[in-house]
Structure 1
Amino acid sequence: MALLPPDPLFILRSDMGLIHNIEFVFDGFSTSHLLAANEEGYIYLWDLKTNRSTRKEKLGASIQAIHYVPPYLISQEKSGAIKLWHMEMTANCTLLKEYMSDGAYCRSIVINNTLIVPQVNSQVEAINLQTFEKIRMYTPLLASPSEKLGYTMALEKVEIGAAVYVLAGYETGDLILWNFLTGEQKVRALFKEHIMSIAFDSVTGKGVCGNSSNLLQVFTIDKDFKIKLKCEILLSSEGCSVVKLRQDRKILACGGWDGRLRLFSWRSLRPLVVLRQHKNAITDVIFSPKIVPEWDCRLMCASGGEGLISLWNLYNQ
């Protein structure tokens, strides 16, 4: 007899509506708070000791991504506005600087105190987190002036050897890898169109793309910068909003448009469980960087389009 899927530890409920992004408030040592950003431009601060929201603050409109880099908070809006805030736990955020990127849904990422953002004409840009000034641009090498890659859809940090790289996925299904420091394009490969999310394991050189189809595409990048499709994982329905690897490289999480949260063994790619707590599309999945004292485990948190955040303790033994 098949085992029933486990229940979540807790469900965070409020008036959040469509949540785009969640982020642990981590000071380098511990975390007891969680941030959520929503379609209406609000951030919510959740206390994981009480499982209650302690703050609701309007920071813009349709916030697609947030990053907590103590003592700063960075918000990225659908319009392309990037804002740097000074954040205290007991006071409202103070706006320090603003910057414009390309609008849409691609989430920015942070690499070595640098913010990586999508820009116009399928370019990607690096911004200094302290000055909010441009450091360099990553420009795709195209076959002809008429070639179009469409929107940048996903960004991911990649490490090969001792060097750091930026990996971008596009509407067309193209993957492009640049050297983080020089901006030199190293390789380009074509996968399924409408890439939605990328996760990469720099230890094994293996990554995965989620897209609008019912296939997860697992690939490798070797030390000679060759990208190869390793295999494909068939899903029961189309659309994967987010793929995330747990920090210990044991678990792959896939958040679907169907509201299903699917977990796989990253080593064998064997399916482990399908979680059905959310009714609308999964919009984000994160793993706590350390054990959350209040739950005595490394939490997995998932947000959904219905405005709920689920907390889980799975496969931590």
Structure 2
Amino acid sequence: MSRPAPSPIYTLRGAGGALNTLHFSCQGGDTPLLFSGSGKGSIHIWNLNTRRALKIVEGHAGSSVIWVSTLQSTDALISQGRDMQVCLWDLSEGRCEVVDSVWTGSVGFCQCSTLETSPGNFLLAFAGEQTEEIKIIELPSKSQVCTLVPDAKLGMVMCIKLLQVRSGPLLVAGYEDGSLLLWDVTQRSRLSLVKAHPEPVMCLTFDTKRLRGISGSSEKKLSSWTLDRQNNLQLQGCVTLVNPGVSQLCVRGDGKLLASAGWDHRVRLFGWKKLRPLAVLQYHTDMVQSVAFSDHQDPRQRLLAAGSRDQRISLWSIYSEGGDTG
């Protein structure tokens, strides 16, 4: 049975548009930060101590910002916009300027994914100009690694996630026909294909410690799956939701909690081990499009952020939920 739902500890307003993406950076220095990307093309850098925007930057010519992240070892921000550009920002010493960019050619909403391969070097995966195409490059050199195109007709690539396992970097992708496809990045080859949903895969996430992932779509179901020792995807089970539609999924760093961003304006919390429902967070008045757990070193400081089409970000303290997650 679900627990009584808490209330947000505070909210952030002033994004000026629908919130498409959120990313925490709370381990560097004394100022915990939250980055947000809006439908109006702005990136807000929120100071979580003052609960105000530290900086507001524009880098995608007013086009919707659909993904933001940080490259930890290089003090850099990376952002993706509907202008088909991925921008690399220099944040060091108070600067905030675009130092490089990558043209993707993608007209879809598929968010990029990064993976650090060595200090200062990253893989960047993004949807390409062709609807089923995924391109992977190295940063900062921008050298081409591979282009991944499935043999079967799976439709548009909807979501991607780079993974680091013992055998090397892998990529799991969700497609328009509901399929999940696992790629070996080094060998540029297809490893495994499963049909996880009857509808397009809208979002997915993966826990590399447990070799387990979960995906969502426009239906009333989350699909759980694992990666076996032969690097095959195995469908494991599903969670039935009250209302259809999931925008994003996120597993907390300690592997205890799963959060889902719902089209029904709600955030749902599950125990990640058994996918047991824990709480339904109700605050927003429109579709929740992004959820993110903070990376505070102190577990008692960890937060959950949710961004919505209602132009607000809600912050929730759910540390107490971690004791009995089941």
Normalising by structure 2, report the TM-score: 0.88
SS of residue paired to 1:76: strand
Deviations, residues 180-225 of structure 1 (Å, cap 9, x unaligned): 2221111111121210111112232221111010111111221123
Residue number among 219, 227, 249 corresponding to 2:233 in the alignment: 227
Secondary structure of the corresponding residue to residue 55 of structure 1: strand
Residues in 1 aligned to 2:31 and 2:177: alpha-carbon distance in whole angstroms = 38
C-alpha change, 1:29 and 1:267, in structure 2 (3 Å) is farther
Alignment partner for residue 269 of structure 1, among 228, 252, 275?
275
Task: Report whether the alignment pairs 1:66 with 2:68.
Answer: yes
1:78 to 79, 82, 86: 82
Q: How do residues 1-317 of structure 1 correspond to structure 2 at under 5 angstroms?
A: 4-26=4-26, 32-60=32-60, 61-69=63-71, 70-88=74-92, 90-112=94-116, 113-119=122-128, 120-142=130-152, 148-192=153-197, 193-291=199-297, 297-314=301-318, 315-317=321-323
**Contact 1:86/1:96 (CA < 8 Å) preserved in 2?**
no
2-structure distance, mates of 1:229, 1:94: 41
1:91 Cα deviation (Å)?
3.8
- Give the Cα separation in 2 of the matches to 1:97 and 1:163: 26
Whether the 8 Å contact between 1:297 and 1:316 is mirrored in structure 2 is no
- Measured against aligned partners, the alpha-carbon deviations of 1:214-238 in whole angstroms (never above 9, x if no partner) come to 1111112211233222111111111
CA distance in 2, matches of 1:63, 1:214: 27
> For the residues of structure 2 that align with 1:304 and 1:272, how far apart are their CA atoms?
21
Alpha-carbon distance in 1 for matches of 2:203, 2:212: 14
Q: Residues of 2 paired with 1:2 and 1:186: CA distance?
A: 38
Q: How many residues align?
A: 310
Further displaced range: 114-123 or 158-167: 158-167
Bigger CA drift: 90-99 or 100-109?
90-99
Structure 2 contact 2–280 (Cα < 8 Å) conserved: no
Q: Do 1:251 and 1:266's aligned partners in 2 also have CA atoms closer than 8 Å?
A: yes
Q: How many angstroms apart in 2 are the aligned matches of 1:214 and 1:30? A: 41
Equivalent residues of 1:239, 1:257 under 8 A apart: yes
Deviation at 1:29, TM superposition (A): 6.8
Contact preservation (8 Å) 1:259, 1:278:
yes
> Contact 2:205–2:249 at 8 Å: present in 1 too?
yes
| Distance verdict in 2 for CA 1:155–1:54, change over 3 Å | same
Conservation of the 8 A alpha-carbon contact between 2:87 and 2:101: yes
CA contact (8 A) 1:26 1:68 kept: no
Rounded to whole Å, the distance in 1 between the matches of 2:26 and 2:139 is: 17
Q: What is the rounded CA distance, in whole Å, between the counterparts of 2:293 and 2:32 in structure 1? A: 13
What is the match of residue 119 of structure 2? none
- AA aligned opposite 1:50: T
Question: Is the contact between residue 113 and residue 126 of structure 2 (CA under 8 Å) also seen in structure 1?
Answer: yes
Q: Distance in 2 between matches of 1:2 and 1:179?
A: 39
Residue 124 of structure 2 aligns with an amino acid whose one-letter code is L
Give the RMSD, CA atoms, in angstroms: 2.2
Q: Deviations over 1:292-312 (max 9, x none)?
A: 79xx51111111111111111
